[in-house]
Amino acid sequence: MHFGSGLLSRCRDVLPSHFHYCSDLNTTRFLKTMIQLEKPDFVAFTGDNIFGPSTTDAAESLLSAFGPVMESGIPWAAVLGNHDQESSMTREELMSFISLMDYSLSQTNPPSKDINNVKRGMFLDIDGFGNYNLSVYGAPGSHLANSSVLNLFFLDSGDRETVQGVRTYGWIKESQLNWLRSASQELQVQNQEVKYVIKTQPVDASAALAFFHIPIPEVRQLYYQKFVGRFGEGVACSSVNSGVLKTLVSIKDVKAVFIGHDHTNDFCGNLEGIWFCYGGGFGYHGYGRIGLARRARVILAELRKGDKEWMGVERIKTWKRLDDENLSKIDEQVLWELSPSR
């Protein structure tokens, strides 16, 4: 969203005829419109929620940026980008504040596994702030009502780093990947336990989605492959490849990853069986391209219908909405579908 100071933060890269009345409030209006139109069950924000240099009060900016989703009463969660901390709060303070906001399911970090540390409210020793997972449970009244049918992983991709004297973007560290492997394995074990207990009902393996801000280096390869959407600028990523793709492939449950950072990219492309999807530029105070409408990505997870009740996730689809006169729906596609043999 790149939210700044509300009415005082003017739009960037809009038609001259819009500039006199265009501000952060256009971002607020677009978020309200998306909520009213799509009626989501959950909203995910993929970082650069605020643009630090344009606000002297990060807390006030966050309250304004997330205001529409809090007013709606819809659960939501966020990760940080590379600009959020460039104001009056550190990354740890930002995630702590976000985690305490109305209807937020965000977490500063996973809780420590040491029972003594848990009692003191301490977190797992892990790089960054905003690494956590959320479980979506099965339909009420079904045998999966207390089991996860869709796991949502959130990761902190950092902001800026210096490698051998050269400035580059942040990356997801090994401690975060270790946590991701562990969390995924734990969730898959729970899924197997449900299969064992409920012998009379087939239980589908839980799919997972991941959300973080800065793309991984392999996303650059998608320029030379088939993709759905717009490849409008170069992929701005870290010079360090920390093995995120290799980890995601190895844990097998993540079907799609949703990223931000590059505002004029809004494409989805497949890397080794996993979709990587940009959301496209949403906020009006962030850079864009004149004549290119701001946009948002929608994700739909559909449950499989059994003989007598709803089962696990059968299909994951996505599309984008443009902030144009018609709120145009574009680039609808299926990201993942349960194998017919299941």
Residues 52 and 83: beta-carbon distance below 8 Å: yes
Distance CA 84, CA 90 (A): 9
Distance CA 128, CA 118 (A): 19
Kind plus residue range of the DSSP H or E element containing 249: helix 244-251
Per-residue model confidence (pLDDT) at position 149:
95
Per-residue model confidence (pLDDT) at position 115:
46
Residues 193 and 26: beta-carbon distance below 8 Å: no
Of 45, 38, 109, the C-alpha closest to 283 is 45
**DSSP character at residue 66:** T
Does residue 70 or residue 119 have the better pLDDT? Answer: 70
Distance CA 204, CA 304 (A): 9
DSSP states along 279-316: -----SSS---TTPPPEEEEEEEEEEE-SSSEEEEEEE
Per-residue model confidence (pLDDT) at position 12:
95
Which whole number is the average pLDDT over 277-287?
Answer: 97
Which whole number is the average pLDDT over 154-171?
Answer: 97
Residues 316 and 256: beta-carbon distance below 8 Å: yes
Query: So where are the chain's domains?
Result: 6-337
Q: Is 152 left (phi over 0), alpha (psi -120 to 50) or beta?
A: beta
Q: Could you report the per-residue pLDDT of 14-53, keeping only the tens digit for each?
A: 988 776 789 999 999 999 999 999 999 999 999 999 999 9
Per-residue model confidence (pLDDT) at position 123:
72
| Average pLDDT, rounded, for the chain | 93
For residue 342, name the pLDDT band (cuts at 50, 70, 90): very low
Q: Could you report the per-residue pLDDT of 193-227, keeping only the tens digit for each?
A: 665 555 545 556 689 999 999 999 999 999 999 99
Q: Is this model's pTM higher than 0.85 or not?
A: yes
Per-residue model confidence (pLDDT) at position 111:
86
Q: How far is CA 327 from CA 49, 65, 286, in A?
A: 22, 21, 20
6-337: which CATH architecture? Answer: 4-Layer Sandwich (3.60)
